[in-house]
Every structure is written in structure tokens, then in C-alpha cells.
Amino acid sequence: EDKVVQSPLSLVVHEGDTVTLNCSYEVTNFRSLLWYKQEKKAPTFLFMLTSSGIEKKSGRLSSILDKKELFSILNITATQTGDSAVYLCAVASGGGADGLTFGKGTHLIIQP
Amino acid sequence: GAVVSQHPSWVICKSGTSVKIECRSLDFQATTMFWYRQFPKQSLMLMATSNEGSKATYEQGVEKDKFLINHASLTLSTLTVTSAHPEDSSFYICSARVQFSTVRGTSGVYEQYFGPGTRLTVT
């Protein structure tokens, strides 16, 4: 059974801090790993990673994948209160149609 | 681009009735869409894969006769919760698959964009 584990489950930091969110996975036939941000509604897409060692960057957010060690990290620098959300890691795997297996998410709270 | 809509956003229904939720890809065609369910404080769980022109594929433990999926066109998939019960109350989210075809070596890799979700409450 495919498994995606995120840590920490919850994190509270002050505005301006840098945070690192972790995602490890055990899946058969890995295809891609995706990061999403979920506030009150459905998840919004952040990154998709398919290759090891290539950093994806968007503003203050960045992510990298290690396919040998089976994990990914999501970094957020100079955090703002608007970054408060649940960050979800998901993996597409197998020979199927890419239905995603999600981790439980990291609940990030940025305090002013 | 890659906008997915859902209708309705929120529905309250009585136990025993059926509810239909629509998922539309607004600016692209999606041969494959997915339906997820999210209970409070839990992560998304894949329910089924909806394929245009063919039968849906259900995940283990999801009753296909209770959750009817119809993917009638390249831009529309519907999920009908039949004979809904209070335990079916949840946040239902669809996603559509978009080919990630611009990166060398990633054929067969897709991004997924989510709809805004439908909150179903069964009383």
C-alpha cells in the first residue's frame, strides 16, 4: 500500500522565520510528487517534482526531491501570516491514471 | 489556465435523498478527472477515477453503487451520492488531470488541478 508521511503535523512560528516541511514516501512505481497549499477550501497547486536534485522555486517557496532517499522538502523563507495553511504532499504512482495519495498534511501557523 | 469548477459549493440534504455534484474543467479538456473526499481534520482520500467515455475506477472500500460517477464529456464529470446518510457528510473535491508535457523525460506525468470543493451535509 502506498504511503506518504509528512512531518511535522503542526508547526507554529513567528513572521519572518524560515520553515522546512518534510514529506517521505513509500510507493510502487513513483511518477511524481506534488505539493499543495490548502486554506479553507480545496488545495491549490504549488509544485510538481519528478527529478531528483532539481530545486523548484516560486517566490519565497522552494522544493526539492530526493528519489534515492524517498523524500521531499518544502521551504518557505521570510514567512508571512498569509502563509498559514495546511500544506499537503501527494504522490502519483503506479500504472494507473495518477490518482494521488496524500499525506496528512502539515498545519502551519505563522504568528505576527 | 487549468481552472476547475464545482457545483454546488455547499448542499444540505435529508437522509435518503440523492445529491449530484458537478465538476467542470473550464479552459481545457480533461479525459481523466478524480474524485476525493476529505473528512474534518483529515487529508484527502481518493475515491475514484473518472474516465471520459468509460466506466469509473473505484478505490478499495468505495461503493460504486452508492457513489455514481458519470464522465459524459471532456469537460464534465458528475458524482451522485445516492441515498445519502449522515456519515456521507464530507467535503468532496474533484480534480482534473493536465498533461505535463513540456519537460523532457516526463511523458506520462500529469499535474492535477483541484476544484473548489463541495461541502455536503446530510441531516
Q: Which three cell numbers stand for residue A35?
A: 505539493
Q: What is the pLDDT of residue A29?
A: 84
Question: Can you read off the three cell numbers belonging to residue B37?
Answer: 473526499
- Calpha distance B116→B4 (Å, rounded): 8
Inter-chain residue contact A34 with B114, CB threshold 8 Å: no
pLDDT (0 to 100) of residue B100: 55
Question: Residue B97 is placed in which grid cell?
Answer: 488531470
B15 grid coordinates? 437522509
- What pLDDT, on a 0 to 100 scale, did the predictor assign at position B103? 43
Best of A100, A101, A106, A107 to disrupt the B interface (most B CBs within 10 Å) is A100
* Residue B105: count of CB within 10 angstroms of its CB: 7
Query: Does residue A81 sit at the B interface (CB-CB below 8 Å)?
Result: no
Residues of A with Cβ-Cβ distance to B117 under 8 angstroms:
41-42
Report the mean per-residue pLDDT for chain A: 91
Give the pLDDT confidence score for residue B108 in this predicted structure: 56
pLDDT reported for residue B115: 93
Query: What pLDDT score was predicted for residue B102?
Result: 44
pLDDT < 70 positions in chain B: 1, 99-109
Q: Provide the residue type at B95 as one letter.
A: S
- Residue A92, pLDDT score: 87
| Residues of chain A scoring pLDDT < 70 | 94-98
Tell me, yes or no, if A96 comes closer than 8 A to chain B by beta carbon.
yes
